[in-house]
Amino acid sequence: GRLVMICIGLVLIYLAIFRGFEPLLLLPIGFGAIMTNIPLADLSGPDGILGMIYRVGVQSGVFPLFIFMGVGAMTDFGPLIANPKTALLGAAAQIGIFGALLGSLVLGFIPGIDFSLKDAASIGIIGGADGPTAIFLASRLSPNLLGAIAVAAYSYMALVPIILPPIIRALTTPEERRVKMVQLRPVSRMEKIVFPIIITLLCALLLPDAAPLISMLMFGNLMRECSVVDRLSDTAQNALINIVTICLGLAVGSKLSADKFLNLQTLGILVMGLAAFAMGTAGGVLLGKVMYRLSGGKVNPMIGAAGVSAVPMAARVVNKCGMDEDPHNFLLMHAMGPNVAGVIGSAVAAGVLLNALKNLVG
């Protein structure tokens, strides 16, 4: 089993280096998988280097929160502010999370698979296409499944250019894909400064369980937009997020031990993770079609596919799909609205699941 897991670690490293699949995470995750399966070294034990990193950063929940701060510092919420209606597309794409949750419970009837409600929630969050959110929720609800969930989340995020286009083409017509949207209005500096503060206050008051993720995301964005703490913003975007990414990848790799990964449940996680991505993409596109009808053909339904988060890759894929139909159809900024809304939506969904399970399961 250890030899098989070492080989899986080598495959992850190969995909990162030679295929470019989420190299920033798959490389340290793959190497962490090799380290944790070295016999006798006990690198992932309580006193091992991987065990200490996991305990300090993942078990405490600090690493995903720091990464959210860095993501906020790198994200421009201007397209969402300019066209708030696109937030609905980001919300619609979260249907994949709850669909995969129900699907995971159904898989529990298969012999060899035993997913509890907490496990199903942790698997479903893969559909949010947001690695830090998946790790944050899994570390609290199902730490025994953390390795498989993290690998599935980041692997499918890397496959967004392959997963999204067939679903978009299946659910839209050439006429819909060729829709050109009007240019977004300029967003003032004051709007960009007020936005993260308002979102943080609303989230903390209405959904306290999502407040850690949302508040760190918005704090990072406020540092970016206020233009008076450029050094801090630069640190959050570069040095800090790079350090945390290295440690987070190694910590996740420490959970890829043979006894926890080589089982039928891992296959179930991979299947439901893919289903979550597909359902989320379809949900965003279908609501996009509704908005296309209600707007009289002014909304390109493809931008709904970007609601699955995976910033900014999903928006770029949507833009490419639009240019494939019409080389002069630029949808990138329009797709960034639901794209960044999806980041907020996945964090809110994680908060909803945490709150529900805390009340129902204890």
What confidence tens digit (pLDDT) does each residue in 194-224 have? 999 999 999 989 999 999 999 999 999 999 9
Can you tell me which residue has the tokens 């969930």? Answer: 149
Give the Cβ contact number of residue 258 at 10 Å.
17
**Confidence (pLDDT) at 360:** 67
Q: What CA–CA distance (Å, rounded) separates 145 from 149?
A: 6
pLDDT band at 241 (very low <50, low <70, confident <90, very high): very high
Residue 359 — pLDDT band, cuts 50, 70, 90?
Answer: low
* pLDDT of 107 strictly over 70: yes
pLDDT of residue 362: 46
Please, are residues 220 and 64 in contact by the beta-carbon 8 Å criterion?
no
pLDDT of residue 235 exceeding 50: yes
Query: Are 244 and 68 in contact, with CB atoms under 8 Å apart?
Result: no
Q: Catalogue the E-assigned strands of 89-226.
A: none
Q: Is the pLDDT of residue 268 over 90?
A: yes
Q: Are 113 and 265 in contact (CB under 8 A)?
A: yes
Q: With left for phi above 0 and alpha for psi between -120 and 50, is residue 48 left, alpha or beta? A: beta
Give mean pLDDT, residues 95-111.
Answer: 92
Q: Exposed, middle or buried by CB within 10 Å (0-12, 13-18, 19+), for 25?
A: buried
In the structure, what pLDDT confidence band is assigned to residue 120 with cuts at 50, 70 and 90? very high
Backbone angles phi, psi at 40, to 5 degrees: 75, -25
- So what's the pLDDT on residue 35? 96
The pLDDT tens digits for 175-188 are: 999 999 999 999 99
* Percentage above 90 pLDDT, the chain: 84
pLDDT higher than 90, residue 155: no
Greatest mean pLDDT among 108-112, 147-151, 303-307 lies in 303-307
Above 50 in pLDDT, residue 101? yes
Does position 129 have pLDDT exceeding 90, yes or no? no
pLDDT recorded at residue 128? 86
What letter represents residue 146's amino acid? Answer: L
* Mean pLDDT (whole number) for 144-158: 90
C-alpha torsion angle, residues 141, 143, 149, 151 (rounded to 10) = 150
Quote the CA–CA distance of 284 and 297 in Å, as a whole number: 17
Please give the pLDDT value at position 211.
94
Return the exposure string of 44-61: e unless at least 16 CB atoms fall within 10 Å of the residue's CB, then b. beeebebbbbbeebbbeb
pTM of the predicted model as reported, rounded to 2 decimal places: 0.92
Tell me whether residue 169 is exposed, middle or buried, using C-beta atoms within 10 angstroms of its C-beta: 0 to 12, 13 to 18, 19 or more.
middle
Average pLDDT over residues 245-266: 91
For the chain, percent helix, then strand, then coil, each to nearest 5?
A: 80, 0, 20
